[in-house]
Structure 1
Amino acid sequence: MTRMMKSCFVTLATLFLWQLEEGTEACSCIPSHPQQAFCNSDVVFRAKVIGAQVLNMGNDSFVNPFPSVKYDIKMMKMFKGPTGNIDAVYTASSSAPCGVSLDTNGEQYLITGRLEEDGTVHITLCNFFQQWDTLSNAQKLNLIQRYQTGCDCKITYCSSIPCMINGPAECLWTDFLTGSTEQARAYACIMRSDGSCSWYRNRIPSKAEH
């Protein structure tokens, strides 16, 4: 399998619904374009995962079936969120309640999540998270150049014909219809001066961003 095929597979795996263990209720999520994930999240950042700890195991009279996992991280770059440093993210230990499993061998991820009132960051399978080196160059650039400018636009998901939009401030997302990942990996939906929205393909530099 080529690196490009692996990248496309990872993107589709992140966007599609997740199937869970036999005998449990599946965690289902509405497909979300990376830009939607950026706009709808409290925090978006690049981080290295350096450790994990299981929390809330329960006691002798009660065993928590879905304890929490604390992933220790080293912040690399904040794209959206507080100015302070984030040193951990929290998630459920099982995929049944949409818990996320991250590699703890120093792998770098792009992570989107929810910022709680106590300052902790929580992530689920319905958030967008992906290994940094599998992101396209366009996605990396759009994190700092384009996604934020299109947060007033609406990206409308389409999986079957006919595909319809309800107004000019919408971009039609057809990757699932075409079996492609092009719009997710290469495009941002941005607002024009007249208030309408359209897909924009970012210019890619000659050298990859690292």
Structure 2
Amino acid sequence: MTGWTTHTGRAAALPLANVDTDQLIPARFMSTPRSEGYGRFLLHDTDARIPEGTTILVAGPNFGSGSSREAAVYALVDFGIRAVIAPSFGDIFAANAANNGLLPACIPEAETLWPRLPAELTIDLAAGTVTGLGETLRFTLDETRRDKLIHGWDDIDLTARHAAAIAAFRGDHHNKHPWAVPARDNNGSGHPTGEEI
């Protein structure tokens, strides 16, 4: 995943509250291979239509509520959405979004933008701002999620950054507590030698 710090794009309104993950992508489409793209299934069973070329979606409160399906984020990303601006988000959706390069920008007054959209907006991740329509709005975002988006990281990448410290801890722990680590057999299976599995 490629990280990013700023994005300028076309913003469109999705003037709905409580858009849940089942509305974002109905479950029956989730058997489609991801390589085929999920963008065409976005909001499939709703009357809502997002104009082609939209990269920023401005929605109502509690966006992405419901189940933990990561496919909801895939549908947005595959459609071309880089950021969703809303007053609030489902917690699991927001975590999945950051892991997949999609910004969940929390702006309490997001709905005030609806009458003036579509329009071009610029997002600055480092500054935490959305600029356009003659104003600058600040958004809140967990710092870990901000780092993930800027660097293109997911949870595995965050852990891998500490590989040296993890290896040092493991070595030190093994030296201090050798009895806690099972002996390996000649095949390196990791099971204590001579014991049944």
* TM, length-normalised to structure 2: 0.31
Higher relative contact order (CA 8 A, sep 6+): 2
Of structures 1 and 2, the larger Rg is shown by: 2
Higher strand content, 1 or 2:
1
Higher helix content, 1 or 2:
2
